[in-house]
């Protein structure tokens, strides 16, 4: 359901703001680091083929 | 034509730009931005062409012209006499009026392509309007001062030129366009098409270096290495394989374009143009060899540069490319997301699909933290916010996240106008020159910025977090 009224949106966010702020932090989780490693490895394997591709049009 | 006849109606443009597909695109583009009059500057010395002439064409038997023709475009009507009067008097008011109506220029080189069509050289055209109804447009462009017989004109644009396969194919042109923007952004030396190809072919291929038949991604990378830039090479299809990636709401290509264009960094895109199925006279043996080398005969590979986009509610709905096969700021639409595109390669050249294969982003070496890593951090945070929204019963359509690469000047200028917790302390704090900004918005307004020092080697934690004060409404 899309909420059209801007004041209504502000009220919803205002009422939940403190709860969200309470969840925020400045850290990056270990799960994210592991995922970076997985994607980086997959990427490096396939990127080698693509690097040699000629652009000729 | 008389030598003192300089001004012509726009309808006579083809006479000077020729009849190539690119000049046709330029005429169509100028019609949309309402060109009315042209001024022809004969015997114009174009630095890019002059370098290519001295390094390549001057040793050709049949090419002896080193000067070009430059055609200027205006969106108002004036006569040859009126224009000559401005040249004679230098009337500042009339010069200002010319500037208000100036749409840019195209250089026509005194050489032809294989179809005997005039080659379009350095071209600067005014962009479409920045805002239109609820749409916003963002472009890579900067101000250029032009001297037309001593009259100072200014145009805010990004240079374009078409392919000149003697000295550079599509990839060389893409490098040239990228370099135009980066030389402005990071004060780098510019290079002509010949010079770019010359620097790239240090990595050998089996083909000839000149005439050029294109470059590989490796050769493109080697050119940027030679001018002391780092490059980030990304396969979008792999990024979309992350466990944090949600194809229903995420689009890696769109996010990457938004992130880099914010800083003013162009993205060189490797695209695969899909050919209509045709009967080819290859033997089974050749087809088997090509397959073993992962060469697909159904595709032709091309390079273009993303130079702008149109958005609504912070989502990109249209891209603008500098594509040497189409023209400057050519409109490109997504096909079920930005992994596939639709533009004139399909509507005019007959290809059946355009697949985005690779992104190559040349970067100032001090920007060290790779996008590939930051993007996973971005996706992880986005999924976290979505979970909180579900938990707190917040309508998911109120939330969105953005990722930007910004420099300190841009970011602090943005902060200056915002209201957030600990503002004075944060404004006075020393910041790194480049930042990755992960922004979480509610109701299209920033709520939380997670800043990562882009000059760092590892992204362990935020350099700074910013919690914005949401506008309060009395209930």
Classify residue B210 as exposed, middle or buried by CB count within 10 Å of its CB (0-12, 13-18, 19+): middle
Please name the member of B450, B461, B470 whose beta carbon is closest to the beta carbon of A10.
Answer: B470
The answer to whether B271 and B338 are in contact (CB under 8 A) is no
Give Cα B377 distance to the centre of its chain: 26
Dihedral pair phi/psi, residue B244, rounded to 5°: -85, -10
Report whether B473 contacts A7 (CB < 8 A). yes
Question: Rounded to 5 degrees, what angle do the CA atoms B364, B261, B221 make?
Answer: 45
Report whether B439 contacts B415 (CB < 8 A).
no
B148: CB partners within 8 A, 6+ apart: B39, B41, B72
Within chain B, which residues score under 50 in pLDDT?
A: none
What does the alpha-carbon distance between residue B269 and residue B266 come to, in Å, rounded to a whole number?
9
Chain A to chain B, count of Cβ pairs less than 8 Å apart?
A: 153
Q: Chain A residue with minimal CA distance to B269?
A: A55
Pairwise CA distance, residues B384 & B431, whole Å? 27
Calculate the dihedral angle through the C-alpha atoms of B10, B14, B15, B19, rounding to the nearest 10 degrees: 180
The verdict on a CB contact (< 8 Å) between B462 and A26 is: yes
In the prediction, which pLDDT does B207 show?
85
Pairing between strand B230-234 and B267-274?
A: unpaired
- Smallest CA–CA separation between A43 and chain B, in Å? 6
Residues B163 and B124 sit within 8 Å (Cβ to Cβ): no
In this complex, do A32 and B447 lie within 8 Å of one another by their Cβ atoms?
A: no
A48: closest chain B residue by CA: B218
| Residue B285, pLDDT score | 73
Beta carbons of B356 and B269 less than 8 angstroms apart: yes
Within the 230-269 window of chain B, which residues sit less than 8 Å (CB to CB) from chain A? Answer: 233-235, 238-239, 241-244
The pLDDT assigned to B281 comes to 65
Minimal CA–CA distance to B368: which of B178, B263, B222, B232? B232
Interface list for A 12-31 with B (CB within 8 A): 12-14, 16-17, 19-21, 23-29, 31
State the maximum Cα–Cα separation within chain B, in Å, rounded to a whole number: 82
Is the bond preceding B421 in cis, omega lying within 30 degrees of 0?
no
Does position A4 have pLDDT exceeding 60, yes or no?
no
d(CA B149, CA B151): 6
Report CA torsion sign: B147, B153, B158, B159: negative
Is the Cβ pair B218, A40 closer than 8 Å? Answer: no
A56 — contact with chain B (CB < 8 Å)?
A: yes
Residues of B in contact with A53 (CB under 8 A): 216-217, 270, 301, 357-358
Task: Tell me how crowded residue B431 is: count the other CB atoms within 10 A of its CB.
Answer: 18
How far is C-alpha A17 from the geometric centre of its chain's CA atoms?
Answer: 21
pLDDT score of A1 more than 50: no
**How many Cα atoms occupy the beta-carbon half-sphere of B195 within 13 Å?**
17
Interaxial angle between packed helices B80-89 and B92-100, expressed in degrees from 0 to 180 and rounded to the nearest 10? 130
Contact assessment for residue B103 and residue B30, using Cβ atoms and an 8 Å cutoff: yes
Chain B contact for A34 (CB, 8 A cutoff): no
Best B345, B380, B386, B437 residue to mutate vs chain A (most A CBs within 10 Å) = B380
Residue B427 pLDDT: 98
In B, residues 273-312, which contact A (CB 8 Å cutoff)?
A: 273, 294, 300-303
- Give the separation between CA B372 and CA B393, rounded to whole angstroms: 32
Q: Determine the average pLDDT of the residues in A21-36.
A: 90
Partner A contacted by B214 (CB < 8 A): yes
Q: Do A28 and B244 touch (CB under 8 A)?
A: no
- Nearest-CA distance A29 → chain B (Å): 9
């Amino acid at each position: 359901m899309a909420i059209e009224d801007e004041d209504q949106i502000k009220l919803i966010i205002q009422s939940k703001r403190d709860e969200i702020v309470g969840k925020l932090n400045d850290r990056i989780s270990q799960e994210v680091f592991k995922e970076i490693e997985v994607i980086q490895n997959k990427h490096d394997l396939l990127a080698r083929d693509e690097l040699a591709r000629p652009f000729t049009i | 034509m008389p030598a003192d006849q300089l001004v012509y109606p726009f309808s006579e443009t083809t006479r000077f730009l020729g009849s190539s597909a690119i000049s046709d695109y330029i005429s169509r583009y100028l019609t949309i931005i309402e060109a009315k009059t042209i001024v022809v500057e004969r015997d114009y010395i174009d630095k890019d062409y002059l370098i290519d002439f001295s390094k390549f064409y001057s040793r050709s038997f049949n090419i002896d012209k080193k000067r070009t023709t430059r055609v200027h475009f205006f969106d108002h009507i004036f006569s040859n006499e009126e224009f000559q009067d401005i040249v004679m008097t230098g009337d500042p008011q009339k010069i200002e009026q010319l500037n208000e109506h100036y749409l840019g220029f195209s250089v026509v080189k005194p050489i032809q392509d294989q179809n005997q069509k005039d080659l379009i050289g350095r071209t600067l055209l005014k962009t479409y309007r920045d805002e239109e109804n609820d749409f916003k447009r963002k472009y890579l462009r900067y101000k250029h001062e032009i001297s037309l017989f001593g009259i100072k004109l200014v145009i805010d644009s990004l240079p374009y030129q078409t392919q000149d396969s003697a000295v550079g194919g599509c990839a060389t042109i893409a490098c040239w366009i990228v370099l135009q923007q980066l030389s402005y952004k990071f004060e780098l030396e510019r290079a002509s098409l010949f010079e770019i190809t010359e620097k790239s072919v240090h990595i050998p291929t089996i083909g000839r270096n000149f005439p050029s038949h294109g470059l590989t991604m490796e050769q493109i990378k080697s050119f940027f290495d030679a001018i002391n830039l780092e490059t980030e090479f990304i396969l979008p299809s792999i990024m979309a394989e992350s466990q944090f990636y949600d194809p229903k709401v995420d689009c890696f290509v769109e996010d990457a374009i938004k992130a880099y264009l914010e800083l003013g960094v162009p993205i060189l895109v490797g695209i695969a143009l899909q050919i209509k199925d045709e009967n080819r006279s290859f033997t089974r043996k050749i087809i088997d060899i090509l397959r073993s080398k992962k060469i697909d005969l159904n595709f032709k590979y091309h390079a273009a540069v993303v130079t702008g986009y149109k958005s609504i509610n912070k989502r990109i709905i249209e891209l603008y490319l500098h594509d040497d096969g189409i023209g400057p700021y050519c409109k490109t639409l997504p096909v079920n997301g930005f992994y596939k595109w639709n533009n004139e390669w399909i509507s005019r050249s007959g290809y059946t699909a355009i697949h985005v294969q690779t992104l190559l982003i040349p970067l100032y070496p001090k920007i060290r933290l790779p996008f590939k890593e930051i993007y996973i951090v971005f996706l992880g945070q986005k999924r976290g916010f979505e979970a909180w929204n579900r938990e707190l019963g917040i309508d998911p359509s109120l939330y969105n996240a953005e990722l930007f690469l910004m420099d300190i000047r841009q970011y602090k200028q943005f902060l200056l106008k915002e209201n957030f917790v600990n503002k004075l302390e944060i404004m006075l704090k020393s910041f790194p020159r480049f930042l990755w900004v992960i922004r979480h918005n509610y109701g299209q307004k920033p709520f939380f910025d997670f800043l990562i020092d882009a000059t760092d080697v590892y992204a362990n934690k935020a350099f700074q977090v910013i919690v914005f004060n949401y506008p309060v409404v009395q209930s």
